[in-house]
């Protein structure tokens, strides 16, 4: 199976750049093509040795490729698929790294009328609040999970190729239904990011030019690190996974309201019950 001939990475930021770097370091393909709209990003990716060839034109980049990874913000998925479509020959495997999967499936149905068998939607559960080509690094995916959400008609060779490529990068690959993926990630990733953005925004407005942050300690730093994440990427996630995120926010609001009530009532039993349950659950999570 490996090395593949030509693998194209579309979007050379933290996720795409790290994927490209692994491809090259592990010789998983003969040629790594990096596709980005920005000349500066293309030059930087070449300079950092992340890719062999840089291409600004998406259609030209994907022509004859064995595999394409889409690693741009998810709001761009439909436009990228549309632009690539004329160059796809049915043998090129297309996968993606987007944090929401329902929108990739919807985009594919809009562009191709179905989820093509060669499209294997995916999501590496790895990353950080850093972004851009300079953030790319080796081992980003090692010991992390990658979730693939293949459609029922997915080509088995395509699924196996995408699975093996992530495994070569040290990841554990699991497959699941796209709707379940989006509900789980809404609760475990999208809600915490929304809370962190909202908390820091609220406090910075009220804190007169962030003066209060001078008095913040480690807990605040830990809780809000993810508020430094890229706003464009997260905007796209909040748009693409709207329903599941609203459900997670509503559920959280009920828990918050119960906690607020316990504080107002000085209800020690309720407060200690909630915190003990949370501590036990968190202590089991590594
Ligand atoms: P990033 O901002 O570091 O990189 C995105 C890259 O895409 C940049 O090079 C940018 O110039 C390019 N880009 C932006 N708009 C584009 C467009 N319309 N067409 C083509 N390229 C475009 O972001 P990232 O963290 O690498 O995230 C990329 C994808 O991976 C997103 O879909 C995100 O949901 C997903 N993801 C991110 C993380 C994370 O923690 N950062 C984790 C898992 C998955």
pLDDT tens, position by position, 65-99: 999 999 999 999 999 999 999 999 999 999 999 99
Residue 209: band (very low, low, confident or very high) from pLDDT cuts 50, 70, 90: low
Q: Which two three-digit tokens encode residue 163?
A: 């699975």
* CA–CA dist 229, 219 (Å, integer): 18
**Residues of the chain above pLDDT 90, percent:** 92
Ligand 1 atom with minimal separation from the 135 CA: 3
95 CB less than 6 Å from ligand 1? no
Is the per-residue pLDDT at 221 higher than 70? yes
pLDDT digits (tens, 9 = 90+) for 259-284: 999 999 999 999 999 999 999 999 99
| H/E stretch holding 126 | none
Cα(234) to centroid of ligand 1, in Å?
10
| HSE of 40, CA atoms in CB hemisphere, 13 A | 4
At 172 the pLDDT is 98
Beta carbon of 196 within 6 Å of any ligand 1 atom:
no
188-192, 207-211, 226-230: least confidently modelled range: 207-211
Q: Residue 208: its pLDDT value, please? A: 62
> What is the band of 1 on the pLDDT scale with cuts at 50, 70, 90?
confident
Q: Return the residue whose CA atom lies nearest to atom 35 of ligand 1.
A: 98
Q: Measure the N-to-C terminal CA separation of the chain; round to a whole number of Å.
A: 34
Mean pLDDT of 206-226: 82
Structure-token pair, residue 25: 């370091």
- Helix (H/G/I), strand (E/B), else coil: 127: coil
Residue 164 C-alpha to ligand 1 middle, in angstroms? Answer: 22
pLDDT range class, residue 141, cuts 50, 70, 90: very high
Which helix (H) or strand (E) element contains residue 62?
helix 58-62
pLDDT of residue 212: 78
Mean pLDDT value across the chain: 96
Q: What's the pLDDT tens digit per position in 119-136?
A: 999 999 999 889 999 999
All structural domains of the chain: 4-176 (3.40.50.720), 181-283 (1.10.3660.10)
- Please, which pLDDT band fits residue 200 given cuts at 50, 70 and 90? very high
Pairing of β 67-70 and β 93-96: parallel
pLDDT of residue 213: 82
The share of the chain scoring above pLDDT 70, in percent, equals 98
What's the gap in Å between 12 CA and the centre of ligand 1?
A: 7
Q: Are 180 and 105 in contact, with CB atoms under 8 Å apart?
A: no
Helix (H, G, I), strand (E, B) or coil at 166: helix
Q: What is the rounded average pLDDT of the residues 15-33? A: 98
The C-alpha atoms of residue 259 and residue 265 are separated, in whole angstroms, by 10
Q: What is the ipTM score, two decimals?
A: 0.98
pLDDT band at 215; cut points 50, 70, 90: confident
Output the pLDDT for position 149: 98
How far apart (Å, rounded) are the C-alpha atoms in residues 78 and 65?
Answer: 19
Q: Which residue shows structure tokens 């693998």?
A: 7
Residues 56-74: tens digit of each pLDDT: 999 999 999 999 999 999 9
Query: Which is it for strands 122-124 and 145-148: parallel, antiparallel or unpaired?
Result: antiparallel
Interatomic CA distance for residues 163 and 252, integer angstroms: 34
């Amino acid at each position: 199976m490996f090395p593949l001939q030509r693998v194209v990475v579309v979007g050379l930021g933290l996720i795409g750049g790290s994927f490209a770097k692994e491809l090259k370091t592990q010789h998983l393909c003969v040629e790594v093509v990096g596709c980005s709209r920005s000349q500066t990003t293309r030059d930087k990716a070449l300079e950092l040795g992340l890719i062999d060839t840089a291409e600004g034109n998406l259609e030209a980049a994907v022509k004859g490729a064995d595999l394409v990874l889409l690693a741009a913000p998810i709001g761009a998925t439909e436009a990228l698929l549309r632009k690539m479509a004329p160059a796809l020959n049915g043998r090129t495997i297309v996968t993606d790294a987007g944090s929401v999967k329902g929108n990739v499936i919807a985009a594919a149905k809009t562009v191709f009328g179905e989820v093509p068998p060669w499209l294997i939607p995916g999501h590496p559960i790895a990353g950080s609040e850093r972004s851009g080509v300079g953030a790319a690094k080796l081992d980003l995916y090692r010991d992390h999970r990658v979730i693939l959400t293949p459609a029922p008609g997915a080509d088995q060779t395509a699924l196996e190729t995408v699975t093996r490529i992530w495994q070569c990068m040290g990841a554990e690959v699991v497959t699941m239904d796209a709707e379940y993926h989006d509900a789980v990630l809404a609760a475990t990733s999208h809600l915490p990011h929304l809370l962190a953005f909202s908390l820091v925004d609220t406090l910075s407005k009220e804190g007169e030019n962030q003066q209060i942050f001078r008095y913040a300690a480690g807990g605040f730093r830990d809780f809000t690190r993810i508020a430094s994440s890229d706003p464009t990427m997260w905007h796209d996630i909040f748009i693409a996974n709207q329903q599941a995120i609203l459900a997670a926010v509503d559920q959280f609001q009920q828990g918050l309201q119960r906690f607020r009530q316990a504080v107002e009532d000085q209800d020690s039993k309720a407060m200690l019950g909630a915190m003990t349950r949370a501590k036990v659950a968190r202590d089991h999570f590594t």
